[in-house]
Chains A and B, each alone.
Chain A
Amino acid sequence: MEWAKDSLRKLEATREVRLSSEPPEFDTYETEKLIDEYHPDYLGMQRNVRVGPNANDGKFPHELADLLESDSQLPFDFDPTVDIETDVLILGGGGAGASAALALEGSGLTVHLATKLRLGDSNTIMAEGGIQASLGVDDSPRRHFADAYVGGHGNNDPDLLRVLCENSADTVRWLGQLGCILDTNEDGTFQLRPGGGTSLPRVLACKDYTGLEIMRVLKDAVLLSSTKTLQNHAALELLDDGSGQVSGAVLWDRSRESLITVSARAVIIATGGSGQLRFQEFPTSNHLGAVGDGLILAYRQGCKLVDSDSHQYHPSGTAYPEALVGQLVTESIRSMGAQVVNAEGKRFVNEMAFRDVLAAAIIREVAEKRGIQTPTDRAGIWLDTPIIDLQNGEGVLRHKFPGIIHRFERYNINPAKQPILIYPTLHYQNGGIQIDRDGRTEVRGLWAAGEVTGGVHGTNRLMGNSLLDITVFGRRAAMSIQSDLPDRRPVTLTSLKGYRESLQSISSQSRLLSPQLFPTKAGMKIAFERKTAIKKPNEGLGVTDQPSFEPPDPFAK
């Protein structure tokens, strides 16, 4: 990184003083102003949606609003005839879906889990930093609650957050029984790390591969269970019984290129987030399939979405090298002491501030020209990673964060010796489908769990609370289904028909089709032609064109 040597020299010159300095703190007013002026959620890049349960109620990023106002991918003449009959249909093969499947094991119910990619290809598997559990001295579920509530700006649903916090110890125990190995101290107790906004160390980890450890164990357990996994099966639409109860789903079998109708007594949506919609052209840390499918499906059935204007821009996404742009550098590395430093070698924010505050502070620094310009036409801020070894001894960074070392070494950057460049990356969908304590949506027959839901984290999630969320609520949805399993109902597309009718009432209708399944940029089109088009009043045939929408080119300047 010869091109950055001037700035690196400044950073090294201030390191000794910085190491003994207190981090800069902002008061409440400064914090609010910072977020208001620089956090991407607050820049007015959102709008109302004109149809559905949130019609003129709540803001959505334009990219998501367009998809909510779009027509279904399903051909108009599609007539559902049941191909698969099951008791419980889980949509999504990440941590929440897998947890739900495991909690249904032994229930005697037939369970199908459909996933658009392969089982485990998800955001869960990419989670690095850890999972929160209030196991420390002076800690409690109440203190966990207080941290997450303040971090979420008090917009959390207190009932949901309480459930999350009260189940952390049980969840860690459950993961242990499945065979997850989390880092322990010499006496066998769990290592607890601080996270941004935790008032004491509360984050359990498996190095910087916590999500990988949890997901591969959940996946292995699901493969050994009686759950029937339908890989490469994307959910295209939910089915209902004609009177408002969800009764199954239509899946798109990507391998055979055919539509599959599933009749189910209960459906769990666990389809995750929407980072690949790349709001405001941000890079993302999310997996290929994170385009908000579940939000669209549930919305058409009448489920209200909460806090859909709120997304998490993780402060430390990689800004250089280009091949790693958007990928995560775990928050743990900051909790271990790595400092965030601008081009002048100055520390400008407390590295352990809440994520939205830190992200906004980094964006401001770059906007006001105190960032570091890369030869790839990006800008970032230094994360002074060599501090870890300087303070804790040679080799500690490599031992605790093998993932970061592994990724950067390929580009001849050794984070143990050399700082790395970061810039916020679109990371997490804070809002989503409204659920109750048992993962029930407002619609009978439909449950939801994980990132696709809203309310648990308010408008800013704390590190380590999403791995907890998926395991707690995935399992709760499964338990709730067992105690309250609806009868089998007929499969119809009545709700979709109603939604399609309401779409006709709006002007300048979106030309997209949704759920879009993949970032359209990727060119992964669904291979069937729509046979009929929406009839608009006085207009004959309406739009049938291919989607004109392209998510922003991640490499465009």
Chain B
Amino acid sequence: MKTVEIKVAGKTIKARTGETVIHALWNAGMAGLIDTGCVGGVCGACTVTVRSSGGQMRGTDLACMCPVEEGMEIFPCPVDSVLTVAPEPNPTGEKLRVAYPKLDRCTKCGSCTTACPMSIPVMDSVLRMRSGELDKVAEDFTTCIHCGLCRFVCEDGVQPHMMGMWVRRSIGSSKEQDSDKIIEQESPQAELEWEYLLGGDSTDKMNHARQFRKSGKIES
């Protein structure tokens, strides 16, 4: 397999084409250079900035999702977590503003959208937060991995991912959680059915379970 050379935190390592920066580091025995978590693109631990071989900055990325390219330079860019604010029932734009007063500092530069490794339209969503379109905001942040890059690049201290989380949790916890939505399927037969499923030796149990799966009832 073809190899390429990349630089990570100033160290040159050889990598195989097709692999990610994280796997290249593992194979070089240097995993410690970049904080790593899930290795699947959803925990946001391995945030980095990338410079292409030509020297131009390519922006932010997740090292575990970033395939190696000849001459690329990787700079670890760990993002510290910030204090979170408790969700509120029946959220509104005004309540969000109280929780995160920096909301209105956004100057619409768009850096957050560029930085987002999940392709969330972050800046547009911040504008929707301002105008109180919170249902749409919740939808926008469905795929947010909370890496914090949007906050990291914001020169005005706006915290889009934290606000996205606040909006989602506030909306989620306000929804009707009564029996309308969660209909437990209980029956007066429950105890009999448990006896049927749990009784007998292992062969009986397996046969009973096989039978019960078909209709959800004890067939006589």
From A149, A224, A406, contact of B206 by CB (8 A): A149
- Could you tell me if A321 and B18 are in contact, using CB atoms closer than 8 angstroms? yes
0/1 string, B47-91, CB within 8 A of A gives 1: 000000000000000000101000000000000010010110000
State which of A173-181, A241-249, A496-504, A507-515 sits at the interface with chain B. Answer: A173-181
B45 neighbours in A (Cβ, 8 Å): 117-118, 121
Inter-chain contact A217/B169, CB cutoff 8 Å: yes
A392 to B100, CA, bound (A): 41
CA distance A137 to B81 in the complex (A): 43
The proximity string for B residues 188-220 relative to A, scoring 1 for CB distances below 8 Å and 0 otherwise, is 001001100110001001101110111110000
**Is the pair B173, A176 in contact by a Cβ cutoff of 8 Å?**
yes
State A335–B179 Cα separation when bound (angstroms): 27
- Asked if B182 contacts A181 (CB within 8 A), the reply is no
Residues of A contacting B20 in the complex (Cβ-Cβ under 8 angstroms)? 323
Query: Across the interface, do B84 and A220 meet the contact criterion of CB distance under 8 Å?
Result: yes
CB of A523 within 8 A of CB of B30, answer yes
Number of interface residues of B (CB under 8 A): 72
What 1/0 flags go to A133-148 for Cβ under 8 Å of B? 1111111111101110
- Contact A179 B168, beta carbon cutoff 8 Å: yes
User: Which one, B1, B25, B39, B43, contacts A120 given CB within 8 A?
Assistant: B43
Q: Is the CB of A554 within 8 A of B23?
A: yes
Count chain A CB atoms within 10 A of each CB in B27, B118, B214 and give the residue with the most.
B27
Question: Contacts A121-B45, A177-B177, A288-B39 given: A162-B212 contact, CB under 8 Å?
Answer: no
Among the listed A140, A154, A169, A212, which residue makes an inter-chain contact with B216, where contact means beta carbons less than 8 Å apart? A140
In contact, B18 and A145 (Cβ under 8 angstroms): no
What is the count of residue pairs linking A and B with beta-carbon distances less than 8 angstroms? 218
Which residues of the other chain, B, contact A120 by a CB distance below 8 angstroms? 37, 43, 146
List which A325-354 residues lie within 8 A (CB) of chain B.
Answer: 327-328
A residues near B202, Cβ cutoff 8 Å: 154
Interface membership of A26, Cβ < 8 A: no
Would you call B145 an interface residue if the criterion is a C-beta within 8 Å of the partner chain's C-beta atoms? yes
B101 at the interface (CB under 8 A from A): no
A169 to B184, CA, bound (A): 6
- Chain A residues contacting B216 (CB-CB under 8 Å) are 138-140, 142-143, 199-200
User: B208 contacts which chain A residues (CB < 8 A)?
Assistant: 146
A518 within 8 A of B: yes
CB pair B26–A134 under 8 Å, yes or no, is: no
| B16 proximal to A (CB < 8 A) | yes
Known A179-B170, A523-B29, A555-B27: A121·B143 in contact at CB below 8 Å: no
List of B residues within 8 angstroms of A178 by Cβ: 169, 172-173
- CB of A406 within 8 A of CB of B119, answer yes
Confirm or deny: A407 has a beta carbon within 8 angstroms of a beta carbon on chain B. Answer: yes
Q: Does B10 count as interface, using CB distance less than 8 angstroms?
A: no
Asked whether any CB of chain B lies closer than 8 Å to the CB of A158, the reply is yes
Contact among B39, B65, B185 with A140 in the assembled complex (CB-CB below 8 Å): B185
Query: Which residues of A sit under 8 angstroms from B30, Cβ to Cβ?
Result: 523
Select one of B1, B185, B205 contacting A138, CB under 8 A: B185
Residues in chain A near residue B39, CB distance under 8 A:
286-288
Contacting pair B146 A199 (CB below 8 A): no
The answer to whether A179 and B65 have CB atoms under 8 Å apart is no
User: Which residue from chain B places its CB closest to the CB of A169 in the assembled complex?
Assistant: B184
Collect the chain B residues with CB atoms within 8 Å of residue A286's CB. Answer: 39
Q: Which residues on the A side are within 8 Å of B25 (C-beta)?
A: 522
Cβ of A299 under 8 Å from chain B: no
- Asked if residues B169 and A150 are in contact (CB atoms below 8 Å), the reply is no
Q: Mark B146-171, 1 if CB is under 8 A from A, else 0.
A: 10000000000000000001001111
CA of A521 to CA of B171 in the docked complex: distance in angstroms? Answer: 43
Q: Are B31 and A522 in contact (CB under 8 A)?
A: yes
The residue from A190, A209, A407 contacting B142, defined by CB atoms under 8 A apart = A209
**Does A12 sit within 8 A of B, measured CB to CB?**
no
Given contacts A121-B38, A322-B19, contact A180 B143 (CB under 8 A): no
- Whether A162 and B194, one on each chain, are in contact in the complex, defined by CB atoms closer than 8 angstroms, is yes
Do the beta carbons of A142 and B194 come within 8 Å of each other? yes
In the complex, B183 has a CB within 8 A of chain A: yes
A123 to B41, CA, bound (A): 12
What B residues does A410 contact at CB under 8 A? 65, 67
Across the two chains, which residue of chain A brings its CB closest to B218?
Answer: A142
> Is the CB–CB distance between A555 and B42 below 8 Å?
no
Docked CA distance A125–B18 (Å): 25
Quote the shortest CB–CB distance from A415 to chain B (angstroms): 15
CB < 8 Å: which of A140, A519, A524 contacts B186? A140
Question: CB-nearest residue of chain B relative to A172?
Answer: B182
* B167 and chain A: residue at smallest CB distance: A179
Contacts of B212 in A (CB 8 A): 142-143, 146
The distance from the CB of A323 to the nearest CB of chain B, in whole angstroms, is 5
Q: Which of A146, A410, A521 has the most CB of B within 10 A?
A: A146
Contacts A169-B184, A327-B40; A199 near B165 (Cβ below 8 A):
no
Indicate if B181 sits at the interface (CB-CB under 8 A): yes
Closest A residue to B37 using CB positions: A121
B108 within 8 A of A: no
Interface residues of B in 113-155 (CB under 8 A from A): 118-119, 138, 142-146
- Asked if A23 is at the interface (CB within 8 A of a chain B CB), the reply is no
Q: In the complex, what residues of A have CB within 8 A of residue B143's CB?
A: 207, 209, 212, 402-403, 406
A223: chain B residues within 8 A (beta carbon): 81, 84
Q: Say whether B43 contacts A162, CB under 8 Å.
A: no
Q: A143-B212, A220-B165, A322-B19 are in contact. Are A287 and B43 (CB under 8 A)?
A: yes
The answer to the question of A216 belonging to the interface, with a C-beta cut-off of 8 Å to chain B, is yes
- Nearest B residue to A231 via CB reads B81
Q: Would you give the shortest CB distance from A246 to chain B, in whole angstroms?
A: 28
If A118-B45, A125-B42 touch, does A140 touch B193 (CB 8 Å cutoff)?
Answer: yes
A285 in the interface, Cβ–Cβ < 8 Å?
Answer: yes
Not counting A120-B37, A134-B184, A522-B31, a sample of 11 additional A-B residue pairs whose C-beta atoms are within 8 angstroms of each other reads A123-B38, A149-B209, A189-B180, A199-B216, A207-B142, A224-B86, A286-B39, A323-B20, A376-B18, A522-B36, A554-B26
14 contacts between A and B (CB under 8 A): A121-B45, A142-B190, A142-B193, A150-B210, A173-B182, A178-B169, A181-B172, A206-B142, A211-B42, A223-B84, A287-B43, A323-B23, A323-B67, A407-B65
The 10 closest A-B pairs by CB, nearest first: A121-B37, A523-B29, A179-B169, A522-B31, A322-B18, A179-B172, A179-B173, A146-B209, A146-B212, A143-B216
